[in-house]
Amino acid sequence: MREWLFLSVAILGEVAATSALKASDGFSKLTPSVIVIVGYVVAFYFLSLALKSIPIGVAYAVWAGLGVVLVAMAAWVIYDQKLDLASIIGMGFIVVGVIILNVFSKSNIH
């Protein structure tokens, strides 16, 4: 169970970092740039801890899938970026894929 907490922290770190990347304006603004760097360090550190127990393919699928959805949601809230029906449906498929992977896959944990 602890490995999933590590993966969750990794995902949140990556989402914070990626969301701040736009605000950093090419690393020309200090505060968002620091958030980017710290977020990615946190993300990769906790991902490395999660990979001690979760197979890399499973971890990366969950990381990428949830990261895409959460970054899109953050961009919608923070930057007022619109999501059309196709993007919402596509992200729904990503979430369903992550659920299927975690509920039905036998390769979840070493």
Q: Is residue 28 part of a domain?
A: yes
- pLDDT at residue 107, rounded to an integer: 67
- pLDDT at residue 109, rounded to an integer: 53
Q: Is residue 84 part of a domain?
A: yes
**How many whole angstroms separate alpha carbon 4 and alpha carbon 53?**
9
Q: Is residue 71 part of a domain?
A: yes
Instruction: Give the residue, 57 or 78, on which the prediction is more confident.
Output: 78
The range of the structural domain enclosing residue 61 comes to 2-104
**How many whole angstroms separate alpha carbon 49 and alpha carbon 55?**
12
* Overall domain count for the chain: 1
12-48 residue pLDDT tens: 999 999 999 999 999 999 999 999 999 999 999 999 9
| pTM greater than 0.75 | yes
